[in-house]
Amino acid sequence: MHTNHGDVIVAPRTPSEHAAGPAARCPFRLDPAGTDIQGEAARIRAAGSATRIELPEGVPAWAVADPAVITRLLTSPAVSKDAAQHWPAWIDGEVGPDWSLALWVSIRSMFTAYGPAHTRLRKLVSGAFTAHRTKALAPVVSRIAEELLDEIEALPEGEPVDLRARYAGPLPARVICELFGVPLASRDRLCTLFDALFSTATPAEEVRAHAGELYGILHELVAIKRETPGDDLTSALIAIQREGLASGAPDPLEDQELLDTLVHFLSAGYETTINLIDHAVHALLTHPGQLELIRTGKAAWADAIEETLRWEPAAANLMLRYAVEDIDLGDVVVPKGDALVMAVAGAGRDEGLHGPGADRFDLTRSTRRDHLAFGHGVHHCIGAPLARMEGVTALSALFARFPELTLAVPSSSLRPVRSFISNGHQELPVLRHGPTAA
């Protein structure tokens, strides 16, 4: 008997049927160093609806790159983000807290919640992360961008500037830290820790040490805000927790949920936006004809942001989901309890959706907004409007200040960040004036 969960057909299968098909028999290991994000994405995309892969330390999963399949899965109750409920390998200890990616599995926030638990947490958090608060940040983002550009302009003429370190990184770091009231003394270290935690090439013992230090900083932040609340989201979340406890609400925000919510928002608000700005600047500098479309009014900065999110999403692979039941995708069945990875970098260049020129960066593409960079369904990123606003502000301010900006090195020499999750460059050297590097 088949059960229809949304658009996903769920049906029981025998063990032999589970093993059927080349996708089930031929797993390949995602490169922890992320040296070929688009090559791996293309391989996943070509393998059918889903293909077997291996995550670090041999943990098995399924990868999906078809945008239609991802969209259906992300809106289906047959797919969960809660490992504690729906990933037997985690529940039974086969995959444990010593796994290098355990932090992203064990976190207890709306990021990993399922069903009513997700609804409850998102409702609580949405009360602090309002559209009004995001809109009010626009002048703050502009001020920070101009301050950073002032610093770059004061540097010696003719010397390359690492735009990721000097601009693409500090801008979202300052914005998200101001939004959550992170003390100045903790900001640089916090961002360094997030960089390390998003690196899937970081050894597990280092990850555990970084995670311990991260939670120590956040414990201190919460203690400060409980003692001296401010006009920031950490204080707002604490106030929501206090109101729930005072009113006798059945499910107030727990201390661990509060800390994990901070991990979720601070990391996402920093890491994904730095990669968005990084890739957008790189794409425009290596596609001068597209930049000219903006300068002549034939395209907008917002178009550059959307096309970048499609062409090189800030998070290449969305981790992790779990099959609540056997999921029949037509050419393959994902068994109940198996882990799933959504390869949004592959979905962004799907020719079925974006046409035969899907690999081309094109601001006039009619499907430029049809991407999954911010997820889809109930787990769609609540901070997407802020990221888009930061991206548009960063690009417009940068190219207004330095209209002759060029890459300082050949594009082929740029090194990707060491991750199959985070998608960006380790550095982005530019010249404010002068000829394009050969």
**Separation between Cα atoms, residue 142 and residue 184, nearest integer Å:** 19
Domains of the chain: 3-431 (1.10.630.10)
**Separation between Cα atoms, residue 389 and residue 383, nearest integer Å:** 10
* 170-191 pLDDT tens trace: 999 999 999 899 999 999 999 9
Count of beta carbons in the 10 Å neighbourhood of residue 426? 14
**Separation between Cα atoms, residue 12 and residue 274, nearest integer Å:** 43
**Separation between Cα atoms, residue 109 and residue 204, nearest integer Å:** 22
**Residue 213: what pLDDT?**
95
* 62-115 pLDDT tens trace: 999 999 999 999 999 999 999 999 999 999 999 999 999 998 888 888 888 888
Stated as kind and residue range, the H or E segment containing 8 is: strand 8-10
Yes or no: say if 402 and 163 are a contact pair by the CB < 8 Å rule: no
**Separation between Cα atoms, residue 72 and residue 64, nearest integer Å:** 11
Burial of 304 (0-12, 13-18, 19+ CB in 10 A): buried
Amino acid at 332: V
Stated as kind and residue range, the H or E segment containing 180 is: helix 170-180
The mean pLDDT of 150-163, rounded to a whole number, is 95
Under the banding of pLDDT at 50, 70 and 90, the label for residue 23 is very low
Under the banding of pLDDT at 50, 70 and 90, the label for residue 128 is low
pTM score: 0.91
**Separation between Cα atoms, residue 64 and residue 52, nearest integer Å:** 9
**Separation between Cα atoms, residue 343 and residue 287, nearest integer Å:** 25
Under the banding of pLDDT at 50, 70 and 90, the label for residue 127 is low
**Separation between Cα atoms, residue 310 and residue 279, nearest integer Å:** 11
Q: Is the predicted pLDDT of residue 5 greater than 80, yes or no?
A: no
* 353-408 pLDDT tens trace: 999 999 999 999 999 999 999 999 888 888 898 999 999 999 999 999 999 999 99
Give the SS3 label for residue 308.
helix
* 198-207 pLDDT tens trace: 999 999 999 9
Under the banding of pLDDT at 50, 70 and 90, the label for residue 339 is very high
Strand ranges in 207-265 using DSSP code E only, listed in sequence order? none
